[in-house]
Every structure is written in structure tokens, then in C-alpha cells.
Chain A
Amino acid sequence: MNLEWTGQEQIAASKGAVWTFINDPQKVASCLPDVQSIDVRDARNVDATVKVAVGPVRGNFKFNIELIPAASGNHMDLKISGGGFGSVVNLLAGADLSENGTTTTLDWKGSAQVNGPVATVGGRVLDAQAHKVIATTFENVKNAVSQTR
């Protein structure tokens, strides 16, 4: 099952501040909703355990998050792969940053490939749930950057 979403956040911070934030694996991982634990492996990789509840599938999923920053400083790719309970989730998220005066616009795109029991539930609620997860993540990024500003 392949899913795709897009969204946008206006962050009241400089592009540099946002860029610094999203280059920190610990900080990015902590923006995942319902995150239970974070284990930073290196400057680009972090393992996170996240509480997932999609229909009857409930429990902790383990994800590896890899940060892939573009040299331009304007674009970040996030590869999130993992799963649990026999399900596999591969998420690819990309964020483009652009500065407008005092705020930074974060345009994001996400796509996910889902296999296993979670995909079964998919037809009905997975799309909305996964969209919510990824949108909440970027919303959390916005709130977190705004607070640390």
C-alpha cells in the first residue's frame, strides 16, 4: 500500500534556526507523536520507539530515522523505516525550507509504503492516521523551534 501526503508549516523562526533543529536527530525524533524512547546512534541516525494505534493494531513500533540533509541547506530528507507486530512501514519525508522575512516556510511531502496487518486496516483508517502522524511531527517541529527561538 502506497500513501502520499503534503503539507506546510509557517514557523516563526529564521531558516537557520529551523535548519539547525532539523539536523539534530534527537530533536527530530522527539517530535514524533507518542514517542516512548529515543536512542541516538550517530549524527544522522536515531532509533525511536513509538506507540501506534491503528484500529485493532496497537503497540510499540520501532523505527530507525535517517537524516539526509541537502548541501544547499534548504532541503532535508527523512527516511523512517521500521515496524512491529508483523507490519513494516517505510516512510520517506522531504522538507523544503524558505525564509520570508521573520518566518520560515516548511513545505513537506511524505510518502509511505506499508506492509502487513497495519496495511489491512489501511483501506479505512491508515491513510488518515499516517497523515496525522506525519503532519503532527512537522507541527511539533514548528512548535519546538518556536519555543527554542
Chain B
Amino acid sequence: MTTGQLPERHAIGAAMKRKEDPRFIRGKGRYLDDIVLPNMLFLALVHSPYPHAKITKIDKTAALALPGVKAVITGEDLVAAKLGWLPTFHGFDNQMVLAIGKALFQYQEVAGVVATSREIAADGAELVDVQYEPLDPVVDPYQSKLDKIILRDDREQKTNHIYHWQVGEREKTDAALAASDVTIKERILSPRCHPAPLEPCGCVSDMNGATGRLTVYMTSQAPHVHRTAFSLVTGIPEDKIHVISPDVGGGFGNKVPVYPGYVVATVASVILGVPVKWVENRTENLTTTGFARDYHMDVEIGATKAGKVTALKVSTTADHGAFDAAADPRKYPAGMFGIVTGSYDFPTAFAEVDAYFTNKAPGGIAYRCSFRVTEAAYAIERAMDILADKLGLDPVQLRMQNFVKKEQFPYHSPLGFTYDSGDYAATTKKALDIIGYDALLKEQAEKRKRGEFMGIGVSTFTEIVGAGPGKHFDILGIKMFDSAEIRIHPTGSGIVRAGTRHQGQGHETTWAQIVAEELGLDPQELLVEEGDTDTAPYGLGTYASRSTPVAGGALALAARKIREKARKIAAHLLEASEDDVEWKDYKFNLKGVPGKTVTMKEVAFAAYTNPAPDTEPGLEATYYYDPPNLTFPNGTYIAVVDVDKDTGSVKVRRFLAVDDCGVVINPMIVEGQIHGGLTEGFAIAFMQEITYDSGGNNLNTDFTEYLIPTALETPHWETAGTVTPSPHHPIGAKGVGESPNVGSPQAFVNAVIDALSPLGVTHIDMPLTKEKVWNAIQGAQSKK
């Protein structure tokens, strides 16, 4: 692609190959563990084998005696340094860095051993003698609710209850449910799972005693927020902290929180005056870092006999683990769970969430959708199928007759959100046509006659992303805007920096495409840089599908600032008045004089060599974008499955995802995002759960017990799209990263339940393992 021949919409909408891929596919990426500094030491952490225990003694002697061990750090040491506790992101709770007096979940970090090699540090960790006095653990939030054992004696409130949050009208909803012809009620579990990025978390902390400056290389989805958090926690002035997030091997929300390893490595570097590296192993990642979901949702829907929904009520018991470390905005302790009315026009609704402590790892943040949207989308899409079954209606028909209609946008939902745009019926029609829904129904009817279990599952979800409007959303009080800085060099290439940090999303390509589109430049000549707090403008990072809705807006608006300045320079070059110069076909044109044009490259050169009089030289701009609203991508996903009634094994025969994420910047990258998210959704639906036995032992601590689908299990994905631009976003984009994970698990589950519906099966909680499906079949058959 060259700037000489620009097709219409030359940059946005092009399936340009990813600029970052050459270094990744050649093994030239630079990840955290690739960073090696002179005199660097290694940190290993000691973990509690008990889920709940008093710590009566920690003896460092044997560990310190091991040659190569340089320091052993305990919770008491951190308390002495006033670093014993960390505030959680929304500021409602504090979290122990290392266990102080008590271990509250299995694998909790109890001590850190710093040594000259990773192996010696691990051996040293084995030699730290920790004496425990085991206490009875609480692993079930419904047990926690009873307050028989109070887990957090550090808190003033002697209860395991963390918070109650509610939205909507309780009385009105209860009355509407009571007056409905038909109601359904189901407890739907969105089970505890884990994002399990292939690269676990880690850091290299490097305190330079001479300059007093701390450099932290870390696996961070939000480097600026981490810099501020480090400053607030340690008291080191923010200008003395430099956070660098190198290439990140997947995040999915897991790399948003601040983990004990970062703090202990930093303390060790301050004490010892040399760089200290900490890199988790797989078990540490799965057992201690931010888990996802664990929402137990009691869902009630009322409807008329004809299948028009009248009310929705959802009461949720949330298991937050040992600390309330969910990284939700201050005003939204249950995130955006209010999206639970989904794509449907409920006249009234009510949702409430009560969160509890248990002796499990803290988190509740992540997995390609934090802010509880996945849980909400799963609950409503599963419940709509249960309602369709009760009404004897086709699930698609029920959805179609309850969709928010195209002409209702902007749509004010009963739980307080203003949906920006969508055409749910059109997206769904497109999906039905592509999959051949009527033919599938016919095939299913024939198979049922033969006693075969074929299922069709539909999910017509609405997402809520792009946090967000600063008036509602914050982290640590910092408004969730984002930022962009663009510098165009004299020869017309440039550097683009943003406050986001990609972990595989392709920003190095799509950010260049946005700027290229706005400025008529070549995206190949725009270098995108993120992740370095010394150079990038302040931003809140990449998670919750917020990069394109927020930073994407900042990029477009920063580019438009440059274009406005460029117009002055172009007018100077054209010896015309600014008002006579218009931007058209990616260049400046003198109105009424065809062929009298100036390209952005020519403007860029003039900006440094021949700037217009009274114009500041140079061509650069910064923009901080605080979006006026969230964006609401939607999609219709259809799964077709065959269930083997003798083994419970499920074969996903077809899966179609039709997404509407607004204007698409790069269709190839969007398709790649959807493939990845669907593969995760498939894993969540069929394989993944973090479980604990009654004694509080985590039973899914590595990839033999917590499964990642390989190419062998993963179904073939079919994708398509519709485009309903976001009316308020500068380029009409909505974001797509989360959609496939938010939208797909329920399509799989609905398909399996549909297959088993002749047996009277109406619900099975995920993951739908062969064993669970087989048991459901056996149970249903024995009842008959």
C-alpha cells in the first residue's frame, strides 16, 4: 500500500497484515522473561498449603544458610516497611501482600526468597519453615453467608458479607412477576474459571540507588495505572517510577491487578540494590492470580402466554475469595451486571448482587470480559431458552418478538444503560440465513424421531464495553479516559503512542490504520508504540474491550487536531485562504481548482521547513478522550451439536458467529479476535473450571487439570458481520475483543440442552463435561 495510489477508504476497513507479526513469528518478540539485567537476582515465593490457617512461626534460618540466598522476606517484614497491605482497585478492601498472621487461601503467598538463580530461590523457598495451625476453611459462598466462621478478622465488620449492590425497581418487578401468565426461575452458575494466559505474570524490578529511580518491567495491561499504584503504595514519587510493559503473551484481564510478586520483587530490589526478577510458574498463575466469574445467579423471568417478556429479576451470590480484589469501578462494585436485560425490551427489571469472602484465591476480574458482562449475558441467554421451553416456543421466535427494535435506539434499559445502536433482528436474520436454520430444524425433527440427540443453540447477546465515561468509571479514582499522541516526522512518516497496551489485539496495526485514514498517510510508515510510561501519554490500559472505543477515539481526534493545523500549512503552500482549502480524497484541495492539491507528506515537510507565518513549527498532537457513553456491540451466535447418548460426548458440528461491532478497522484482525474468543468460550462451556474440594484444596492447578483446547478439540468457526456504527464514537467503532467470549458459552450450552430437551433436561451448569452430560441423560432416562 503506498500513498501514491489511495483506494477509497484506504486504511480503515483494509485487511492489512499485522505489523507486529514478523517479530512474533520469527521468535523476535521481547517478553518479560527475555529481560536480563546485570547482577539480576531471582525471587521465588513460598505458598500456604492450607486454605485457612494461623501462621504461628516463620523460621528463615535454613533458607538464609543456603549458599546463593540473599534475602528472605515475610509479611511481618513488609508490615515493618509499611507495605504489608495493598489497596484493591476500587478501594473498598485491602489485600495482604504476604500472609500476615493468617493464610486465607491455599497457595497464598507467605514469604519470598531472593537468590542468585531461579533454582536456588526455589530451593530456598522449600527451606523456609512455616508453622501453621490449620483452621476450618469456608469454600462455599452459601456457607460463608451464615457467618459461622469469620474469615477476615482484620476488618472492622465481623461478617463475610462484602457488599450488597442493586439496580432497578424491586417492588415493581416482584409485582410484574406475580401478575405474569408464565414465570421461570433457575439458579444459573457462571463457574469460577481462569484466563490462563500462555505467558504467566512476572516483573523485573530495578531500583537504581544512584538516581533513586525505580524501573519496573512488568506484564501489565495497564502500565500507567500500575505506576500510579506503585507510587501510592510505596510513597516513591511518580516521576521516579518507570513502568515498561514489554511484549505481553496474552492477558485477558489476568494482567490488570497488582500481585504480591511485583511488590516483593520491588522491595527486594530496594533492599539489595540490584535488579530482581520474579516470574510465576503455571501453578502460581492458576492458583493465586485473578480468577474469573463465580457468580451464582437466581434468574426469574415473567412473560405473557404469547411470549412477551414482562419482568426480569436476578439475585446473585458472588464468591470473591479471600479479598475483594475485583477490579471494578468504584460506583459499580458488580461491574456492568446491569446489562443483564440483554437484547430484550423488559418493561421492568431488578438485579442485585451480594458478594462474600471465602477461603479461595481473590480476583473476580478477568477472562476477556471483566465487569461481569459475561455472567449477565450468560444468565439472560440461558434463561430465555428456559422460558422458550416452558412456553413451547422456538427460542429464536421468542427472542425476535422481544428484541429492542432498531427504531428504539438510543434505548434506555430498565437497569439504567443507554444502548447506543443496534439492529438485533437484522443481525439475527443474517445468522439464520447463513446457518440455514429452517433446514436444521427439519433435520433435527427427523433425528429426534430416530432417537438421536441433535441440538441447535442460539445466543443473541448485547455487550457493553468501552469504559468509559469518566463520570461513571474509574480505577483508584482515576477516570477511565484514554489518550493518544501522534508525531508526524518531516518526511511524512510518524510515531503514534497510546495509553493502552496490547497483548495480541494488533494495536500496532489498527492504530496505524486509524491515523492513516484520518491523515492520508501510509499505515506502514506509522510506528505504534505502547507500554512505556516515560513516553506514552497517560492511559488506563487495555482490557474490557476498551482500547478501540476509548483510545481509538483519542487517536482519531488527535489526528484531526493535526489535520486542522495541517490545513493552515496547506493554505500557506497553496497561497490561499484557509477557508478555501478542503480535505477530500485524503489530501488538501483548493476549492474550485481541480488538481491544485497538497498531500499530508508535503504538509509534513513544510511544517518543519516552511511553516506558515504565525504557525508553530512541527506537526504533532495529543488528545485525551473521555467518551460520552459506552458502546454496545451485539451478535447472534448459533451452535449446532450432536450428543452421543451413550457416552455424553458432544460434537460441535457447526458454529456461526455474526457480530456487529460497529465500524471495522481491520476485518482480518476482528476475525482473529473472534476465533480466539470463541475458542475460549468453547473451553469455558465444555472444559474449564477452578474447583476446590471441601478441604479448600484447589483441584485445577496446572494444564493437566485445567484444560486449554488444542486444534484437535476446537471446532471450525464460521464468522460474518453486520455494521451498525456507534453514533457517538469518532469513527463509529464499538470494540470486539470480548464479544466472542461473552456471546458464545450460552450458545454451546443452549445447543446441548436443546439436544437433551426430549428427555426433559432444562439446565446443566457449565462446564458440560462428558460426565455431566452423561449423568444428565442417565438421570432423565431413569426418571422416565
Contact = CB atoms under 8 A, between A and B. Distances in A.
Interface of A: 1-2, 55-56, 83-88, 113-117, 119-120, 122-123
A115 B126 contact: no
B49 A83 contact: yes
Interface in B579-600: none
Contacts of B132: 88
Interface stretch (B486-494, B553-561, B700-708): B700-708
Given A56-B704, A84-B126, A119 B693 contact: yes
A54 to B, nearest CB: 13
A119 B695 contact: yes
B59 to A, nearest CB: 15
A62 B692 CA distance: 26
Contact of B50 (A2, A55, A84, A88): A88
Nearest to A55: B704
Contact of B698 (A2, A113, A120): A120
A120 B694 CA distance: 12
Nearest to B47: A86
Contacts of A56: 702, 704
A15 B378 CA distance: 65
Interface of B: 46-47, 49-51, 106-107, 126, 132, 134, 283, 693-702, 704-705
A120 B695 contact: no
B699 A87 contact: no
Given A2-B695, A84-B126, A115 B106 contact: yes
B697 A122 contact: yes
A1 B47 contact: no
Contacts of A115: 49-51, 106, 134, 695-697
A116 B126 contact: no
A4 to B, nearest CB: 13
B49 A120 contact: no
Contacts of A55: 704
Which of A1, A115, A116, A123 is the most central at the interface, judged by chain B CB atoms within 10 Å of its CB?
A: A115
Contacts of B698: 120
Contacts of B106: 115-116
7 contacts: A56-B704, A84-B126, A86-B47, A115-B696, A116-B49, A120-B697, A120-B699
A83 B50 CA distance: 12
A113 B701 contact: no
B701 A120 contact: yes
Contact of A123 (B51, B694, B699): B699
Contact of A117 (B50, B51, B693, B701): B701
Q: Which of B47, B51, B698, B699 has the most CB of A within 10 A?
A: B699
A87 B132 CA distance: 12
Contacts of B697: 1, 114-116, 119-120, 122
Nearest to A85: B126
Contacts of A88: 49-50, 132
A117 B283 contact: yes
Contacts of B694: 2
Contacts of B51: 115
A75 B132 CA distance: 30
A119 B699 CA distance: 7
A1 B693 contact: yes
Nearest to B49: A116
Contacts of A2: 694-695
A123 to B, nearest CB: 6
Contacts of A120: 697-702, 705
A114 B49 CA distance: 9
A129 to B, nearest CB: 15
B699 A86 contact: no
Contacts of B49: 83, 86-88, 115-116
A123 B696 CA distance: 13
A85 B697 CA distance: 15
Contacts of B695: 1-2, 113-115, 119
Q: Which of A87, A117, A123 has the most CB of B within 10 A?
A: A117
Contacts of A113: 695
A47 to B, nearest CB: 14
A87 B701 CA distance: 13
Contacts of B699: 119-120, 122-123
Nearest to A115: B49
A24 to B, nearest CB: 29
Nearest to B125: A86
Given A1-B695, A115-B697, A120-B700, 15 more contacts: A2-B695, A83-B49, A84-B126, A86-B46, A86-B47, A87-B49, A115-B50, A115-B51, A115-B106, A115-B696, A116-B697, A117-B283, A119-B697, A120-B698, A123-B693
